[in-house]
Amino acid sequence: MDATVIDLCLDVFWWAKFRKKKAAIKLHTLLDLKTAIPEYIFITDGSVHEINTLDYISFPAGSYLVMDKAYIDFARLWRLTSERTNFVVTAKDNMKYRVIKRKTTKKETGVICDQTIVLTGTATSKKYPERLRRIRYFDAETGNTLIFLTNNFKLSALTVAALYRNRWGIEIFFKWIKQHLKIQTFWGHSENAVRTQVWIAIATYVLVVITKKKLKLPQKLYEILQLISLSAFDKTPLTNFFLYENIQDVKEQNCNQLILL
């Protein structure tokens, strides 16, 4: 689960409150990492904090919710634990805690420590009264050291790290939506017009993903969208439309043209 901000002009989109001199809307999204399809999306003005969306979603028992530290609210995390929802979230630097158990780790795997902790803050210890698992992990690919909090004590530390690594799927979703579906330029200025255009972009993305999976297309999502947009009124069945093996991106075509000079 994550959110992304879409910047707007304050003089035109005055209803989209964000900052004193800036307007924006925020796309709060719960993405199914297996299918790359969003299960829930909330569109709010930019001033609404990400953590509030946890109050509007009920998660199936046994599911895994992966988030960054913007979603740390121990009262809400305790509710997830009470509902038997597993979570993996990055920890904040100022968290107060006490270690009650340590597991032996192999640092060459990237797992620096695997601890069982309890919160010791005056407020946080009341909001989350049970044990938590704290994992410190070094990512060799990025060179970053990450600290995870989870309520799952059965998964290996490497699996917890892998779950968080897969969170980047939602970043790819946001990037794809913004880059390829042109929601940075809006056709209308009202709140309803902006929301409508964003929902059209999301619906288009979902249809392209479903098409790719059902027809088992080897092309990338952007290539599929590009071909469909160029032939929107073509009556050729989609199963025949993607039979060409040498389809190239317009930006990457290799015409093998001779150099004149």
* Domain annotation covers residue 62: no
* End-of-domain residue from the set 166, 198, 219: 166
Confidence of residue 30 (pLDDT cuts 50, 70, 90): very high
Task: Tell me which residue has tokens 């989109």.
Answer: 13
pLDDT at 182: 61
Same domain, 233 and 150: no
**pLDDT tens per residue across span 182-195:** 665 677 778 888 88
* Domain annotation covers residue 99: yes
pLDDT at 244: 60
Same domain, 89 and 162: yes
Same domain, 209 and 145: no
Mean pLDDT of the chain: 85
Least confident of 1-5, 9-13, 50-54, 211-215: 9-13
Same domain, 223 and 158: no
* Domain annotation covers residue 230: yes
**pLDDT tens per residue across span 199-255:** 888 888 888 888 888 888 888 777 787 777 777 777 777 777 776 655 555 444 454
* Domain annotation covers residue 214: yes
Same domain, 160 and 79: yes
* Domain annotation covers residue 26: no
Most confident listed range (21-35, 128-142, 214-228): 128-142
* Torsion 241-244-248-250 (CA) sign: negative
**pLDDT tens per residue across span 38-71:** 999 998 888 889 999 999 888 888 999 999 999 9
* Domain annotation covers residue 88: yes
Confidence of residue 174 (pLDDT cuts 50, 70, 90): confident
pLDDT at 9: 77
pLDDT at 218: 83
* Domain annotation covers residue 173: no
Using the predicted structure, report yes or no on whether residue 23 has a pLDDT greater than 80: yes
Query: Domain count of the chain?
Result: 2
Same domain, 141 and 229: no
Q: How many CB atoms lie within 10 A of CB 114?
A: 21
Q: How many CB atoms lie within 10 A of CB 258?
A: 5
pLDDT at 180: 66
Task: Tell me which residue has tokens 């809307």.
Answer: 25
Question: Looking at per-residue confidence, does 116 or 180 come out higher?
Answer: 116
Residue 12 host element (H or E) = none
The amino acid occupying position 258 is L
pLDDT at 259: 54
CA 98 to each of CA 63, 87, 118: distance values in angstroms, whole numbers, following the listed order: 27, 20, 5
Q: What are phi and psi of 61, to 5 degrees?
A: -60, 135
Same domain, 87 and 129: yes
Rounded Cα gap, residues 214 and 85, in angstroms: 30
pLDDT at 45: 86
Same domain, 81 and 162: yes
What domain range is 231 assigned to? 188-252
Same domain, 138 and 225: no
Same domain, 144 and 196: no
Least confident of 1-10, 161-170, 242-251: 242-251
Using the predicted structure, report yes or no on whether residue 129 has a pLDDT greater than 80: yes
* Domain annotation covers residue 74: yes
Same domain, 216 and 128: no
Same domain, 193 and 152: no
CA 27 to each of CA 31, 119, 153, 173, 209: distance values in angstroms, whole numbers, following the listed order: 12, 32, 32, 11, 19
